[in-house]
Amino acid sequence: MIRNIAIIAHVDHGKTTLVDQMLRQAGAFRANQHVEERVMDSNPLEKERGITILAKNTSVHWHGTKINIVDTPGHADFGGEVERILRMVDGFVLLVDAAEGPMPQTRFVTRKALALGLKPIVAINKIDRSDAEPLRVHDEVLGLFIDLEATHEQLDAPFLYTSSRAGTATPELDHPGTDLTPLFQAVIDHIPTPTGDPELPFQMLVSTLDFSSFLGRIAIGRIERGRVRVGDQVSLLPMGDPGMVVDEPMENGRVTKLYTFDGLARVEVQEASAGDIVCLAGFETIEIGKTFTSIEVPERLLGIAVEEPTISVDFIVNNGPFAGRDGKYVTSRQLRDRLFKELERNVALKVEPTDSPDTHSVSGRGELHLGILMETMRREGYEFQVSRPRVITRIGENGERQEPYEELMIDVPEEYMGVVMERLGPRRAEMKEMRNNGTGLVRLAFKIPARGLFGYRSEFLTDTRGTGIIHHRFLEYGPWAGPLAGRKRGVLVADREGSVVAFALGNLQERAQMFVAPGDLVYEGMIAGENSRPGDLDVNVTKEKKLTNMRASGSDDNVLLEPPRQITLEYAMEYIEEDELIEVTPKTIRLRKRVLQVNDRKKAARAAARVADAS
């Protein structure tokens, strides 16, 4: 007996924590086994950031039934991944935070899951929160289901009130849950058993990919029908319309390895049959959306469309003065090879060469998607530079230029509503909804060009003193919104190479927020801080105090310095302008001007002014 479920939700609503508890309560761990919190977030970046990046499979046994579980990422950039894995399950557990209620990503993943005809179980989660309003959220989820045209059967979904953290579920708030038994029972009772007939010819859709240096590409999916054994000859069909495939080139080969999921482990098996989720290796041309079949009956399943990227950046070889000091891999060849290798698993990514062999255009689903790639590469020892992100425009049906729009949702204390609206106006945000829940918090929903959001997050956090919550996700393509104002403040640019001196910063910090600290190395053209006014300033951050007697540099003063602003990759991507670059190395992230020499920049500015005057 098998059940296949996906756990879906908006970011942070508690999916991975719930899977932890399901594993624990179903006895997936040995009694004395030490297990880390949110064990499914197994890659180091996931642990560090506390978010799920890749969907992952696991399984538990509950009273004789095997439940395959797919934990999914909640961040909007990875929505495509959720959509793909939904093809290997028969039902889903939708988690909704009992205080936040349905959020943009809740709507997105729920729409996809309902449209596939999957059976839902709703878990109103985090009911232990002091601001939880489970009954209100219950109604909101029902409203969402109706809005998304759920079928009668889907509307009949069991609703549970849960705390992932405590590991409890209950169908009735008056009777607090003690464990997850009601959830397991709901899965057994309401999620259908996979219907595929094991006696029919083998057929399986590749829903996700994995890669191992030992086995090469590994396909993960649910066996639609039939059975498969290690050593079997099977066909991997090319992409195309569903139905019988005749006269198309396909890869016929032998299955070399088969695994199923069992708790945190993958277990090697000799045979698997309809309904189970397996990993299958042995084929070179495995791709998401392709169908495996028996040789005799090459019948293709409906494929999976991979979502189109919406933003792109240039990855450029590091040509700054400090190039090669930190990194192991710095040449254009190494950069190129690494970027193309990424395409094996990162299916929503695009890499394109440009006119310059030093530059590749890399496109993805958002800043987090691209930021994770950059972070991963720098940890592997790569060094490179990144341009300001551009939105990917397209041409509409009537030949008009279109750009991506985002759905933006903001929760703020009432007193900050004014400043939010004031900032978003010039960014071309259009308000769609405003709701005051009476507790002093306001929820605002906007539609805004993706471009308009660049750089807004950090402004928002400052404006609302960290009390606000902001979420956005891709909505649709719409008309080009015209020019948008760039960064309001200029930057301080180092005018020479050297080591940063406290004395110099002491003099500058009145009118600037620094990005560097005493002792840091800077070069001419590197950005050292933010000017509190518009316009860039060339400054000497290596300037020593005139010494009257011998003192060591750097420690020559008792100036009290504000700590420098921490520059993260995502922050940098939002921050920089077109004439600037991010220099990424394993040890540091620096911002710089594209043109490094002060004089060259001045010349370029004069030339630009002349062009502007003439037009």
Name the one range near ligand GTP by CB under 6 A: 68-76, 143-151, 514-522, 562-570: 68-76
Q: CB-wise, 126 or 338, nearer to ligand GTP?
A: 126
Q: Residue number with the shortest CB distance to ligand GTP? A: 74
Q: Which stretch binds ligand GTP (CB under 6 A): 48-56, 83-91, 240-248, 346-354?
A: 48-56
Nearest distance from residue 15's CB to Mg ion, in Å? 5
| Extended beta strands in 341-438, E state | 350-353, 359-364, 384-386, 390-391, 394-395, 401-413, 430-436
Number of chain positions touching ligand GTP (CB under 6 A): 22
Cα 315 to Cα 351: distance, rounded to the nearest angstrom: 10
Measured from the CB atom, the residue of 49 and 443 that comes closer to ligand GTP is 49
- What is the gyration radius of the CA atoms in the chain, in angstroms? 27
d(CA 38, CA 47): 8
User: Binding segment for ligand GTP among 45-53, 107-115, 245-253, 462-470 (CB under 6 A)?
Assistant: 45-53
Can residue 128 be called a binding residue for ligand GTP (CB under 6 A)? Answer: yes
> Residue with structure tokens 């009130």?
161
Closest to 77 measured CA to CA, from 418, 474, 377, 379: 474
Is 239:280 a contact under the CB 8 Å cutoff? no
Nearest to 20 by CA among 2, 35, 5: 35
* 344 touches ligand GTP by CB under 6 A: no
Residue 111 binding partner per list ligand GTP, Mg ion, none, with a CB distance cut-off of 5 to 8 Å that depends on partner kind: none
Tell me which of Mg ion, ligand GTP, none is bound by residue 359, counting a contact when its beta carbon lies within the kind-specific cut-off of 5 to 8 angstroms: none
Tally Cβ neighbours within 10 Å of residue 262: 16
Q: Which is nearer to ligand GTP, 164 or 203 (CB)?
A: 164
Instruction: Decide if residue 102 touches ligand GTP (CB under 6 A).
Output: no
Q: Where are the alpha helices (DSSP H) in 86-216?
A: 104-115, 134-147, 152-155, 181-190
Minimal distance in Å, beta carbon 100 to ligand GTP?
A: 11
Candidate residues 16, 58, 310, 312; the one interacting with ligand GTP per rule CB under 6 A: 16
Decide which of Mg ion, ligand GTP, none touches 164; Cβ closer than 5 to 8 Å per partner kind. Answer: ligand GTP
Q: What's 49's DSSP letter?
A: H
Closest CA to 492 of 456, 542, 556, 546: 542
**To which residue do tokens 């290596």 refer?**
542
70-78, 196-204, 231-239, 558-566 -> range binding ligand GTP (CB under 6 A)? 70-78
Looking at the Cβ atoms of 16 and 293, the one nearer to Mg ion is 16
Closest to ligand GTP by CB, 52 or 208: 52
What is the C-alpha to C-alpha distance for residues 272 and 70, in angstroms, rounded to an integer? 18
CB of 12 vs Mg ion, minimal distance in Å: 8
Closer to ligand GTP by CB, 19 or 581: give it: 19
Residue 555 DSSP label: S
Phi, psi at 140, each rounded to 5°: -65, -35
593 binds, among Mg ion, ligand GTP, none (CB under 5 to 8 A by kind): none
| 16 near Mg ion, judged by CB under 5 A | yes
Q: How far are the Cα atoms of 18, 36, 47 from residue 167, in angstroms, in the given order?
A: 7, 15, 20
Task: Name the residue nearer to Mg ion (CB basis): 16 or 164.
Answer: 16
Contacting range for ligand GTP; rule: CB under 6 A; set: 121-129, 403-411, 500-508, 536-544:
121-129
Q: Give the three-state DSSP class for 179.
A: coil
Considering CB distances under 5 to 8 angstroms, the limit depending on partner class, which of Mg ion, ligand GTP, none binds residue 9?
ligand GTP
Q: Which does 360 bind (CB under 5 to 8 A by kind): Mg ion, ligand GTP, none?
A: none
Q: Does 52 participate in binding Mg ion (rule CB under 5 A)?
A: yes
**Rounded to whole angstroms, what are the CA distances from 541 to 512, 535, 580?**
12, 18, 19
Angle between helices 417-424 and 456-463 (to 10 degrees): 160
Span interacting with Mg ion, options 50-58, 135-143, 318-326, 367-375, rule CB under 5 A: 50-58
Among 74, 134, 226, 303, binds ligand GTP (CB under 6 A): 74
Contact call for residue 226 and ligand GTP (CB under 6 A)? no
Structure token digits, residue 116? 């596939």
Cα distance between residue 182 and residue 119, in whole Å: 16
Binding track over 157-176 against ligand GTP, x by CB under 6 A: ------xxx-----------
327-365 residues labelled b (16+ CB within 10 A) or e (exposed): bebbebebbbebbeeeeeebbbbbbeeeeeebbbbbbbb
Task: Based on the shown chain and the rule CB under 6 A, indicate whether residue 125 belongs to the binding site for ligand GTP.
Answer: yes
**SS3 label, residue 42:** coil
State how far the Cα of 572 lies from the Cα of 584, in Å rounded to an integer.
10
**Does residue 15 belong to the site contacting ligand GTP (CB under 6 A)?**
yes
Binding site partner of 119, from ligand GTP, Mg ion, none, Cβ cut-off 5-8 A by kind = none
Q: Measured from the CB atom, is 33 or 130 closer to ligand GTP?
A: 130
Assess 15 for contact with Mg ion (CB under 5 A): yes
Q: Token pair 């969907």 is at which residue?
A: 55
Cα–Cα distance between 100 and 79 in angstroms, integer? Answer: 19
Residue 106 as a binder of ligand GTP (CB under 6 A): the answer is: no
Q: Does 12 help bind ligand GTP (rule: CB under 6 A)?
A: yes
Q: How far is CA 403 from CA 348, 378, 396, 568, 600, in A?
A: 18, 31, 9, 26, 34
Binding site for Mg ion (CB under 5 A): 15-16, 52
Binding site for ligand GTP (CB under 6 A): 9, 11-17, 38, 50-52, 73-75, 125-126, 128-129, 163-165
